[in-house]
Structure formats: C-alpha cells, structure tokens
Amino acid sequence: MDYIIATHNMKKRNELARILEPLGLNVFTADQLNIRLTDVEETGSTFAQNAQLKSRSGCKESGMPCIADDSGLQVDALGGAPGVYSARFAGEHGNDEKNNALLLKKLENVPDEKRTARFVCTVSCTYPDGKEILISGACEGKIGYEPKGEGGFGYDPLFMVGDKSFAEMSAEEKDKISHRGNALRALARELAERNNKK
C-alpha cells in the first residue's frame, strides 16, 4: 500500500522513508506525487494533536492514507520545554541555530545531572475510511554543553545519548534508538497488521 507523508522538511522525509521503506511501506512526499498539501498550522497543545491535524488534512487533500508526525524535545530542567514549541522555541519556526543557542543559554548554569531530556515523537496515520492509528516513541538522553557533530537536524547536535550526540551518529545508529525510529517501527507493525487483515 502507498502512503503519503505530510512534511515539507526533506531531512525529516528522508528519515521517515529510510525507516519505513525497509519495513515494506511505500512512502511518498506530496511533491513526488505532484499533490499540493496545505501547510497545516500546529495549533495543538500535544504532539498527538499536532500529528493528527497534519495526517487528517493530508489524507483529506490527497485521498491517500497519510502519515504525519510531531516531535519535540522535553528538557526536565525547563519543566518539559520546549515541548510542542521545539521548532519555534526561539521565535522563528525551524531556525535550528537560534533554537540551540537559546536552549544552551537557558541551561548555562544547570549541572550535568539535571540536564536530562528526551525526544518524543507521535506518529499519526489517517486512512480515507476514517480509521486512525496513533503511536508514540521516545529516546532518553541529556543536553550537552556545546553542539557536537555535523549530521541530523534540529537539536541533534546537543542531544547526547551516552557519549555521542545524535548529530555525531550515523543515520543507521540514530534510527535504531531515536524517538522517531521507535515510533515508526511500532507504526509499521500496526500498518502491517491492518494490511494483513484485508
């Protein structure tokens, strides 16, 4: 079965495809299918609400099953912030450099043992028949003291798992432990089960 991915972020699209395609799912961006999807405003107060807003809209506009996610960073010393505001933490949506700089500034006097954090990802898949699947995944780590590594995007250079940041890991290493990888593998199992019932 073919699925459309509701994202305009090519790095995220590549990560989604890299994880889902080996599991037997054919995933396409709207651009690949010459479909124009509305850029949905993330007005939900939870990752689940934002993921559902995007998957429902993408499904309605494309007529195809649509997969969307909402992900973010929860830092314990900041009461779970930036949370659903992760992409626009510093004000401007998607400015990774400014978001990372603000995070480091807010944590500048926070000791190592209190820099615990997690990435959270909620994935929603909406079908044209109205059926929805909602799955979450997480990855525990800490916030480093400076950006490390050249890979990834978002907060990857600051998010440390063990002695490596997400940005220092190969794509394969990151996919095995990441919040998005965990959520997408669980989603793939659910989708396979649904498709086998038909």
Catalytic residues: 70
Q: Edge-to-edge strand order for the sheet containing 66-75?
A: 26-29, 2-5, 66-75, 116-126, 132-143, 159-161, 164-165
Written as six digits, the tokens of 197 are 């019932």
Q: What does the alpha-carbon distance between residue 121 and residue 170 come to, in Å, rounded to a whole number?
A: 20
Cα of first residue to Cα of last residue in the chain, in angstroms, is 11
Backbone angles phi, psi at 127, to 5 degrees: -100, 155
Q: Centre a 10 Å sphere on the Cβ of residue 93 and count the other Cβ atoms it contains.
A: 11
Rg, Å, the chain Cα set: 17
